[in-house]
A = this chain, B = another copy of it.
Amino acid sequence: MKVVLAEHYGFCFGVKRAIEIAESSKNASTIGPLIHNNKEISRLKKDYNVETLNNIDDIKSIKKAIIRTHGIPKNDLKFLKKNGIDIVDATCPFVTKPQQICEKMSDEGYDIVIFGDKDHPEVKGVKSYAKKGVSVVLHVDELENKIFSNKIAVVSQTTRKIDEFMKIVNYLITNHKEVRVFNTICNATFENQDAARNLAKKSDIMIIIGGKNSSNTKQLYNISKEFCEDSYLIESENELEKEWFKNKINCGVTAGASTPNWIIENIIGKIKEI
């Protein structure tokens, strides 16, 4: 069996940057998991004593807070400042952008539409920067009963698919006079997705590595599944099952934007053993 890695995979710019920031902030605590990868978070705890606080109310015990790649809501940031906590901002610059857009457009009187998952931490953070009249949607039908002013600004969660974003945008433009569209989808996501698609077409089994709660990893899995029925999403080499690989000739491997290289290498080693 031949094992081939996707042309683009794994850590994006924002995640690499956040890990470097965490590594140089020994003994600090992140507000929520720094990135969507439990194994990397354990490594940072072990090697750099970087803790993860799951509840912002627990900050009483800490001195230095690292803001995660996904950002945090505006009020949480205020709360940290009010409590005199040192802040190290590891928010991905591609996430800071839609936060700033939301704030500015809101100030200028635009209604805000965010294309994304309302429960995703990035979206919660971005949403918090809009003053009023903000809608978070994933599907066009969620827009149908909403009443907007004639000025609408639209941003996207950074890890969404452009085709789906365009459906939302098309609906808004067709029905409203002015729509200000900010394409805040991250190129790294595109690149990993395109590479996964190309590889899936040539593979008879695809292994997608990444956090099971990671939005971009799940999307890689969905894209892969479209072109290669035998696609599997795993977090570690222990989940690999021998029988998946029976009679397979070409095995493709890709990884979500929060997956460190050392995990990918472990898994490829194990596949080759099988």
Contact = CB atoms under 8 A, between A and B. Distances in A.
Interface of A: 162, 165-166, 169-170, 173-174, 176-183
Nearest to A182: B178
4 tightest A-B contacts by CB? A179-B181, A180-B180, A173-B181, A173-B183
Contact of A178 (B173, B176, B181): B181
Contacts of A178: 180-183
A178 B105 CA distance: 12
In the complex, the count of this chain's copies comes to 2
Contacts of A176: 183
A274 to B, nearest CB: 40
A195 B179 CA distance: 27
Contacts of A180: 178-181
A174 B174 CA distance: 17
Contacts of A182: 177-178
A220 to B, nearest CB: 20
20 contacts: A165-B173, A166-B170, A166-B173, A166-B174, A169-B169, A169-B173, A169-B181, A170-B170, A173-B181, A173-B183, A174-B183, A176-B183, A177-B182, A178-B181, A178-B183, A179-B181, A179-B183, A180-B180, A180-B181, A181-B181
Nearest to A162: B174
Nearest to A190: B174
Nearest to A101: B178
A170 B173 CA distance: 11
A89 B179 CA distance: 29
Contact of A183 (B162, B165, B177, B183): B177
